[in-house]
Amino acid sequence: MENPKDQATIMMNRLQEREREQQLILSVCQALSGVVTHNELHTVVGSLLKDHFSFEDLIIASSDKNETEYRIFYQYTVLKPTENTAYPVNDGFFDSCLDTADTVVFDLKPVSERKQLPVYLDPIASKGIKNGIGIGLPIRKDDQTVLFLFFKNASVFTRESNRMLRGIATQLAITIGNIKMATVYESSFAELQLLKKQPVEQPETTVASDNGFYGIIGKSKAMQQVYELITQVAPSPSTVLIFGETGTGKELIANAIHKLSPAFTEKLITVNCASIPENLIESELFGHEKGAFTGATATRIGKFEQADNGTIFLDEIGELPLELQGKLLRVLQEKEIERIAGKNTLKVKVRVIAATNRSLEKEVAEGRFRSDLFYRLNVFPIALPALRDRSEDIEPLAHFFLEKHSLKTGKKSSGFSKKVLKSMIANTWPGNVRELENMVERSILFAKEGVIKEMTFPTVLKTETTNPETELYTATLQEVEKAHILKVVKKCNGKIFGPQGAAVVLGLPGTTLISKMQKLGIKKEHYIS
């Protein structure tokens, strides 16, 4: 019979092993989260994954969800395959990994003898590699992706290896999606550079076209003033502070400024200050050195460093913790950063655009925001009008979102009834353009005909009197926002994330919604009885 002390020791050792395993998964996921190119992926695979999985080769294969063929996205021994050969999805390798949640084990030798091996696996089998495993990564948007690992000795792939592989699978799928988006982004800008070399007659006015002003829809006088401010400030390196209610399109304004700036060919890096945990914000912004803290197994490049020679957009800057505001001030003043645990300062040339839906003057007065940082950010302020203050833009915006989401959902919607258009124009839209987009998308899904004849507005936004100026606006914006979020969360039965969660209904990232709920004092007992 085993000694109780021995049993306790065994149990403690297992717990310590699991803790080390979780820290390892976290460090790999952190390294993958900053990857946007094949070369960066290759560095992480070679420095982290190779050490922990001891594979001979690693292949990532990917297809679109509705396609019957897949292609090699990445191969460790080749880095970035130059061929673009397509292989049938149902080849017994790719599809078998997608059809199960378990790890699939392959014995390459008997398959090779039956001549059923895909061409890209022939060189691997010829090296005497007999064993392989495959795992289908979580489907992201329309991508179907499989990760293959190949070993000379299958025994090196242990239960712990399997757990770790599952632990990084979601982040790896996200990273692959980011690389694909970055590739499209770079290709688009390369084409834009070629077009820029051709003489183009510049317009004499900033009036928005039917397709919008750099993706911004609206021809109202209020928006024309915003466009004028954008064109004035874009050519300079000056810091811009965009402020306005939530949902007014602050990120679109930042994109337009960047696209019109001399740095339009460089990166625009976006950081949502409200969605990052406080203990990770400094590392996210400024990076860290290897060994800076537990789990920091590799050097991390921060967002400011990534945005060097380009633009960084600091969304929801009012949520930045006080202790980090001083460090951000130094970056703005000295144009240099220090990674966590770094010994040297790094010079950066970055154009800063910040945005907030808070009154920073009030935050300064109440001691939650540094006055010196506010004045440094408020070099060129751009105030965005609420949707209720530009009602003439509601109809074109609604038609824009109707076309966009009709294509997305596959439902043919031809327009709105006069009753619905009148109701939309009369509505106060406390959630602004984001709320309008969500309402249009929801109406498309519920519509039984081509013309949308009904649109149900949240009752929390309705006023009981005929005098909205004295009744509707007596509540603060935070109170209205809190009531609206609480109502939506209750309707979703307390579910925040997922396809039917409150975050999707509200058009917010799940982490942003959680942060907002915490700041507004919304607790679990408020929406779950």
Check whether domain 390-527 has CATH 1.10.8.60, yes or no: yes
Q: Which amino acid is at 250?
A: K
**Residue 65 — very low, low, confident or very high, per pLDDT cuts 50/70/90?**
low
Q: Does residue 205 or residue 37 have the better pLDDT? A: 37
Q: Is the pLDDT of residue 208 over 70?
A: no
Tell me which CATH code domain 207-385 carries.
3.40.50.300
pLDDT in tens, 422-431: 999 999 999 9
**Residue 153 — very low, low, confident or very high, per pLDDT cuts 50/70/90?**
confident
Radius of gyration of the chain (CA): 27
pLDDT in tens, 338-382: 999 988 899 999 999 999 999 999 999 888 999 999 999 999 999
**Residue 82 — very low, low, confident or very high, per pLDDT cuts 50/70/90?**
low
> Rounded distance, CA 503 to CA 124, Å?
45
pLDDT in tens, 214-245: 889 999 999 999 999 999 999 999 999 999 99
> Rounded distance, CA 417 to CA 440, Å?
13
pLDDT in tens, 287-333: 999 888 887 888 999 999 999 999 999 999 999 998 899 999 999 99
> Rounded distance, CA 310 to CA 270, Å?
11
Backbone torsion region of residue 427, taken as left when φ is above 0, otherwise alpha when ψ lies between -120 and 50, otherwise beta: beta
- Structural tokens at position 30: 């952190």
pLDDT in tens, 140-150: 656 789 999 99
Q: Is the pLDDT of residue 470 over 70?
A: no
> Rounded distance, CA 140 to CA 163, Å?
21
Helices (H), 315-358: 322-334
CA atoms within 13 A on the CB side of 72: 19
> Rounded distance, CA 484 to CA 506, Å?
9
- Structural tokens at position 302: 């921060």
- What percent helix, strand, coil does the chain show, rounded to 5? 50, 15, 35
Q: What is the pLDDT of residue 384?
A: 95
User: Between the CA of residue 247 and those of 384, 434, 450, 490, 506, what are the distances in Å?
Assistant: 10, 5, 28, 21, 10
- Structural tokens at position 300: 């991390």
pLDDT in tens, 372-391: 999 999 999 999 999 999 99
Q: Does residue 515 or residue 144 have the better pLDDT? A: 144
Mean pLDDT within 241-251: 94
Q: What is the pLDDT of residue 58?
A: 92
Q: What is the pLDDT of residue 316?
A: 94
The residue ranges of every structural domain in the chain are 4-183, 207-385, 390-527
In the chain, % of residues over pLDDT 90: 39
Residue 53 in contact with residue 132, Cβ under 8 Å? no
Tell me which CATH code domain 4-183 carries.
3.30.450.40
Measured between its terminal Cα atoms, the distance across the chain in Å is 49
> Rounded distance, CA 529 to CA 524, Å?
9
Contacts of 358 (CB under 8 A, 6+ apart): 243, 318
